[in-house]
Structure 1
């Protein structure tokens, strides 16, 4: 080790100062002096390494041990030859990075002195250590090694820990003491624990802090208490326990026991007051007596057998237990407990008793078969509890006759199995879901989903099989059902089967409580694909019938004259060049009439349901323009009062147009002598649009108004009655309603209610062309 490094290390351990004379530099003299100083420091280093009580270790920059002293060997348990050449053997593996960081600090010129960490002994144990690290320099002043001084501070840390724990224990002892404690200084309160604050009726220590304690004492007793306090302070000894009255903050007076304890220190006037509330002692004693009588009454009249078992004999039984097993009370007191338990269940019951008496369990429920005096079997449930009777361990037990309950449970299990079998083979498809996850599907449901493997359904989300365009609506309905006990109405949706096929279905759900301990959803499904196709065929048929009638009436009346008008208009246009503007206008209008006639043919084409967002204003205006020609022929005025500020609705536009055509056409035909048909559409509320069609016809007799919508029921000579029926169906399909109000001689009003989709209730839609 270079003398400069030794000097720096020793100067950190114990400073030595050398003063050299101020004379001219003499290299030889300085070299000699330097060698002398180096020798001195080497001797000091050797002496320090030998006699230091702290462990000293010298390591190179890589952490390899170069030198250790005897104290290090004693501290760690290694011999010098065992550790020299090894890398930081005294540092636990998980703290190697910490040791390297300390070396980096020394290399950076920072001081590491008294750093507390853990060090490793040869036997693998760890101890608390205080570590100081010094650099060792070569002749050029470069750091070539590190010298570490280790001191075992395990006892110190334990002492500090015990001191902290002791202080915390005493603090908690006072703070959480159930006994009220108040500290006074010159009669004023400067501390009170929570129990004391509660005693005087306060909520926080601030409620009484700083107050003179004598304020809490009745005036006639305050002088005597002040005298006792002064005497206790004068003698510097605790007082005897005294009883006095205490006035709480709520002005209630309670009786307490008090002990005055001076806080011993010279010239100190502080003391502690230790309280005990005894105002409730007599009440408690009286309550205890009443409680004992109450428990005696409860046990004696309990509808369960109660017994106290000690030293393998009965020391108490209540009347119910005697009756339960068919013995007299005197007989029971002479019989061993095993007499009441079936021989096949006694071993298990005996084990429970033994474990309870040994203290391994405190309370244990059991079920067993009992044996009555007449030999009949009774099913028992009860508890075995460890207690003490006359200072000795004993068993307090109960017997409850559950024979009838077991019979009922068995009957319920059989009933549940019957119902399970009934549901399983019910022709109606039924599934049960928990939070949307399928947990049961009966045979009919498996067939509906086109599968024979349960794993293709169970464990999957019910909404996985719902067509995406209906998923949000289905989820909303299911959430509403889970909030109530009412079943949902049947809702038509599209479902995707396991084979990928899409079917038309309808479903209704209801919440089921306590299904395998859970609240679940039971859903009934129906495949209505065939029914929907039949309804679609009926709608097509009715539409074709209406269009056929319109086409028959208008094609002859319009198309032939239209062709003539168009031809002659073109001829006149070619002869009169000056008035071409008027002829162009006429040709344009004739072409518009031609387009309107073509619309009839378009509506006559059969179409499947196609839902999207449509505007009621646009649909009504389109239908009015189509029917306006028929209205003119019938001397009927179509008056439109349709609001343009209506939100879009989710619908099949063609189907709704069909409804509007049916109803407006009926209104026109109801007035053979002419009149007005008023068509209004307005926002009834944020969630509903109301469409009204009102005519001035003869009205409909009350006897058949409520029957309207039934097939083949009509007031028209050539009608089929299917138009209104289909209109009702279409409105139901759109989650709307159709109502007819009619008075004879006053006309008929048809009211349609259409729902506004969620998320669009705050929107208003401008009129659009459909």
Structure 2
């Protein structure tokens, strides 16, 4: 029994594998988030992605605007409900879409938990098109009947319930109400009324229409007309509903002459048409116009001995033969098709055509057309290849490129996704381009976009500030140009460049030049001030010792002279050479030492120094004394920025194997925007008695250590200073030597 069950299990597995492989329906297995786990061959054919490309993709076949709807369906299926026959739109790899009928079912593990979903997709685009065509056909039929010049009358148990305008006019009435409900036999001459009643009784419940019967029609004004009447049953056997097709034949001779003229015109049109026209009856061509003969390279007599299977590729003939059969049986009135034909010399020709049923010499036949579309097929293939090459070129171009329509993003290549730090296209596509541009730049960018739509020339690169998906701003340049006929629209293509590094390099160069100039100025200025300062201080002390009564004034003078001396010392720090002692030092130890030094000042100002430095930080290559000076300057500034008290938080962490990050954050009033961008310049300070040289010295020391210092501040929200220092970096001079500190 166990062997039998095992055999059945293997058989079921084989059947499942066979179904996955050979079914014409696309099958996809996704996890609960919509990530593709497995697809079958039919899915690859249906969507254009290979199995290797599809696996791991998130909702690849679902348009971005339908992601929420699909995830909701996934949730319902994950809760145990199957989704059958869900009609939606699916995407292909090339960006096109098709109508699909989808069935979703849960996949459960041994414990009955839903672990994945399986979807079965069927392309119903043709069905949708057929439904649309059917609705249009019904509407055309209604309009045909209503607007038909031929009188049409509907009878139910001999009483008139419908008459089209032509029939109302034929009966001599002004409106349908005049004939509605009347027995139609009242309008037939007495000599024909019995015959018509017999025909109707004979046809009741049948599916056959009567032959055309000549009769006399008695109009409401009692005048008579010669008419032909055809009776057509409208329902199944037993029904009393009939449709009468009438024709006024009083002017038959004139009509026959007109008909002959029409036939001659038709023959002339068909014989000279630039489309192949044929009549197909009893498995052979019984008529072929000259264009058809030339199209396939046969003479007229040769063509009349051919079957359609001779001039149509066998593979395509099988499908067309089915259409032809259904058309002959009356199940299809007309059907367009596309096939590959075979000329007499063996050359392939791509054709489009239309087939409809007709009668020829009293027998059912097919009337069809062939149009040579080879040039169109070749052109479309070349266009597709060109479009694919263009799309691939744009997609992988290293320059960020964004396509927008009236400011709405339609497409972004990989470089643009990287620039905007977007994880998926849905974060960009469909959103306003201005959502990612800083508000101050909206007006000039809109002006540029309006201008490029009026010319074929690209705009000049304009500096803007971009707000990335993660909220971080970056400096960029943008140039735009107009593109015609993109998905049927005139759109704007914008090329973006990240200039953040360039701007930072420019700022560093300017700051370096300022430091150099200030250093040179400080060297000369400090030298010139120090000599007279020493004399002033000495003579002031001498005068103080001789005049005890004015000691207060002399003390004030000495205090101010000492303040001048401190400023001169700051200048000398910038200007004089210092001996750098580089070696490996521990940042935790430096911070603890600095915090212990400044803790007394912090307590006096009601400020708490909070250290959150990671304990396991590696030693870095540095000059400890210089870094301590930087930490003292920055933490002291943070303390002094909070005269009413608060917290100063110091954090230190390792961002990667090569770099440490130290942050010093206060809760002060912040720095105004007008000053924040210029911090580090000499004599720029927010303190009433400061010189701005401390921050400038700190910048200088950090640059000597190949690091960087960034200041971020918001008014009334405090200031954060971030230092990035290399772990194994080397000083500007590899051996301890004098440098401008």
TM bin, normalised by shorter chain, reads 0.3 to 0.5
TM score, norm. by length of structure 1: 0.33
TM score, norm. by length of structure 2: 0.34
| Structure having the higher Rg | 1
